[in-house]
Structure 1
């Protein structure tokens, strides 16, 4: 069974880029706002969530807080995307429960490895 990824970003181009990049390996759903993502999360149980931070109406920090309050999503890996490279923002994400933080513009191959690391943490390293 293929793993599911939910991509949340108010920039349509980022959603399309990630969907096209990941669709051969995963089932990818997209949402263009935090509000739309919360609606989708009532029916969809993704294996990984990738979310932008800077979004109108509800930013990624508030969304992450809401995701962590949903019982069945409490332990779902969340990867945050941001154009801000400051470590204070990264630390805030980790404190709110994000597993990873990737700076924009990002290397799609790096994001692919971050996803694999979160989906298969024990098996990620091929040799010890």
Structure 2
């Protein structure tokens, strides 16, 4: 099984320290540097400018700083969908219950008081990073197909929604490929469901290899049906990816004695391409690609049908 969402377990977690006092940064770096990749910012402004590039697993955030205060930095992090899940621990010399309540109410998960005790800091950082990693794993499982390791339909819907949104502003090309294993019911009836699952996994691996080369995203849409989202991908480029997927499946040479088109497993493919517009909807691509897939099946299977849809101006 080829997993599209495998995680490098050896990767060190990244901690971003935000503090205007360099001596405090040095103390925290000394406490954490052997276990984590540590980055730092000496102001709230600098932290907000760099956090998207760093994408830390946890932020240690000073409350009182010149310019943007820690509370405001935390609010901005929590308002950003890409950053909202990053745990924030406030580092503060304040000893005020109201401040602690405020910090927790805007999304921080913990407080560490100054002067920082290295062992306490290490333990709290470790606990919260382990909890975040567990949440990330559970979230990934929720959008991953268990059999193939590809994205599932729920994830595909989110990818398409985001792709249409980001492509619409500049009218960029977006393509969607839908494919189906030909005569799969007959395959299952002949070889059994275990071999059917193996067939699905092998086709998924072939699909993933071709889609990854095109920097696309592949998903199991349901049963023996799959989808690929190809960003910034013109009709010609999408056609080439579809042909590569079909070739990869041919090369698998999975026996299928009850197929009506080949002694081996084949696939039918539908491709839909358009330049995204402000009024475009993700389902436009799904409907168009599904219609092309139906055409491919009706025309004899083991083939590719493609279309360009929409007003291209």
Query: Would the TM-score normalized by the shorter structure come out above 0.5?
Result: yes
Secondary structure of 2:52's aligned partner: coil
State the Cα RMSD in Å: 1.4
Bigger Rg over Cα: 2
Could you report, residue by residue, the CA deviation over 1:69-121 in whole angstroms, capped at 9, with x for unpaired residues?
12111111100011011111100000010000111112111111110110113
Equivalent residues, number: 123
Match of 2:68 in 1: 58
Counterparts of residues 85-104 of structure 1 (less than 5 Å): 85-104=95-114
Counterparts of residues 1-128 of structure 1 (less than 5 Å): 1-121=11-131
Secondary structure of 2:131's aligned partner: coil
The two structures have a TM-score, normalised by structure 2, of 0.38
Tell me the distance in 1 between the aligned counterparts of 2:41 and 2:47.
5
Secondary structure of 1:79's aligned partner: strand
Tell me the distance in 1 between the aligned counterparts of 2:118 and 2:81.
30
**Per chain length, whose mean CA-contact separation is higher, i.e. which structure has more relative contact order (CA < 8 Å, sep 6+)?**
1
Tell me the distance in 2 between the aligned counterparts of 1:108 and 1:80.
15
Secondary structure of 1:71's aligned partner: coil
Could you report, residue by residue, the CA deviation over 1:38-96 in whole angstroms, capped at 9, with x for unpaired residues?
11112111000000000011110000001111211111110001101111110000001
Indicate conservation of the 8 Å contact 2:31/2:121, yes or no.
Answer: no
Indicate conservation of the 8 Å contact 2:78/2:107, yes or no.
Answer: yes
Tell me the distance in 2 between the aligned counterparts of 1:41 and 1:113.
23
Ranges in structure 1 where 5+ consecutive residues have no aligned partner: 124-128
Pair 58,107 (structure 1): closer, same or farther in 2 beyond 3 Å: same
The two structures have a TM-score, normalised by structure 1, of 0.91
Following superposition, which runs of at least 4 residues in structure 1 exceed 3 angstroms of deviation?
none
Tell me the distance in 2 between the aligned counterparts of 1:116 and 1:5.
11
Q: Higher helix proportion, which one?
A: 2
